Structure 1
Amino acid sequence: MVIIVLVRHGESTANVGGVLAGRTPGVVLTEAGRTQARGLGGVFPCREVTELRYSPLERCAQTTGELLEGITAARITEAPEFLEVDYGRWSGRTIPELAKLPEWEIVQQRPSQVAFPDGERLADAAARAVAGVRAFVADLQDSGAEAPVGVVVAHGDIIKAVLADALGMPLDDFQRIAVAPGSFSQIVYPSPGPGTGAPTVTAMSVTAPTPRGARTGEAGTLGGGV
């Protein structure tokens, strides 16, 4: 059995502005986002983890640093397979602005068919994220740890895609999932072998108490909910 804890980065400057950040440089955590990430260590399901892998974007690196104030990881690895979706020319635009585009209905109803202009197909981003988690699970199974726990620090749509896969949902239904900034979700993957069953989602979008209150993510947005 392997436990994977999926952490969405804390509130970022783009979240506050209602902007679809994508891979735009210079997007960092707000002070509230740092507080969220630091507080997450206090409600985390385990204090010691086998390995932590994080998206190279600055907001995820910052979240990793804050989270590691409350937990310890035997190994820490930058993992480009968990990079944010490349939204191409949609990057840097506001969600209300994007919601007026005719393509927005496809994002909501048939996300597996979406190809962002000069960017990435959402289906390709989901596939690399799911493959990345499965490879991580295999590495942890081979690590020799008695009860391995892996942490992935990533982005809303990346985490939603992994959760949808674990739940047996088609990608076209992944907008039914919201993942709050500064939250964790947890999946238990069974040991390999016949009759071991499917992954089990045991927690979703759990946040630590903050002065501003818990956030649940917003429905019907890209990026997992701002």
Structure 2
Amino acid sequence: MEIYVVRHGETEYNVGAVRFRGRKDIPLSELGIKHAEETGEVLANVPIEAIYYSKLSRTRVTAEKIKEYHPKAIFEEEPYLLDMSFGDWEGKTFDEIFIGEEKEKWFSNPHDFIIPNGETFYTVLDRIHRLFKRLERQKEKVVVLVTHGAVINLIFVYITRTHPSNFWRFYPKPSSISKIVYENGLFYISQFNNTDHLS
């Protein structure tokens, strides 16, 4: 089985003073749309059987650009791919949230933070586990998951069976493509955070 993991294209919250996005429905920027189109183009010759995306427009539009080249592929919204809820942090910059050494701690031990009215890393890992168990059983063997940065970080924490403290080791760029191979009951990283297709 081949699983292509695509991060949505750029939004205005991804540039300048980066803001926590989470469940806020922030649309793609003009550059984000262009990069989504380029992502669709580079995947055009992959025999994709299913495309799954979260309900937020930034992933749906990115997925639609991939779908243009694969009209027969299953195209479904997947609740398990919804971005991590950052609760009261959503829409705010790091500097608006963190005081003193807290910012450094967010990058060294992010799993230790209790996000007010948000999800924990372990909640997201649980839904990733449920999703991947379902993917293992389904008949479609070449699939695309279009999702969000935090979810992708935790997908790779999950398949490498590492501690959530390794969250930032797997940070993907907007419109990046990663590839996971499932074979003989094990997941392998075939490609990670590839952006060679972007202009």
Q: Displacement of 1:105 after TM fit? A: 4.1
Greater helix share, structure number: 2
> Corresponding residue for 1:19?
19
Q: Displacement of 1:169 after TM fit? A: 1.8
Q: Determine if contact 2:83/2:150 at 8 Å carries over to the other structure.
A: yes
Unaligned runs of 5+ in 2: none
SS in 2 for 1:35: helix
Map 1:114-193; keep pairs closer than 5 Å: 114-139=113-138, 143=139, 148-192=141-185
Q: Determine if contact 1:5/1:152 at 8 Å carries over to the other structure.
A: yes
Comparing 98-107 and 175-184, the one that deviates more: 98-107
Describe the shift of the 1:170–1:8 C-alpha distance in structure 2 as closer, same or farther (beyond 3 A). Answer: same
Aligned residues: 198
> Corresponding residue for 2:52?
53
Q: Distance in 1 between matches of 2:132 and 2:45?
A: 19
Comparing 109-118 and 148-157, the one that deviates more: 109-118
Q: Determine if contact 2:121/2:154 at 8 Å carries over to the other structure.
A: no
Q: Displacement of 1:40 after TM fit? A: 1.1
SS in 2 for 1:124: helix
TM-score between both structures, scaled by the size of structure 1: 0.79
Q: Displacement of 1:191 after TM fit? A: 3.8
> Corresponding residue for 2:67?
68
Comparing 161-170 and 36-45, the one that deviates more: 36-45
Q: Distance in 2 between matches of 1:209 and 1:149?
A: 20
Q: Distance in 2 between matches of 1:134 and 1:3?
A: 14
Describe the shift of the 1:165–1:21 C-alpha distance in structure 2 as closer, same or farther (beyond 3 A). Answer: same
Q: Distance in 2 between matches of 1:166 and 1:176?
A: 13
Q: Determine if contact 2:9/2:32 at 8 Å carries over to the other structure.
A: yes
SS in 2 for 1:76: strand
Q: Alignment RMSD, CA only? A: 2.1
TM-score between both structures, scaled by the size of structure 2: 0.89
| Structure 1 residue identity aligned to 2:78 | A
User: What is the percent sequence identity of the aligned residues?
Assistant: 27
Q: Displacement of 1:49 after TM fit? A: 1.2
| Structure 1 residue identity aligned to 2:114 | A
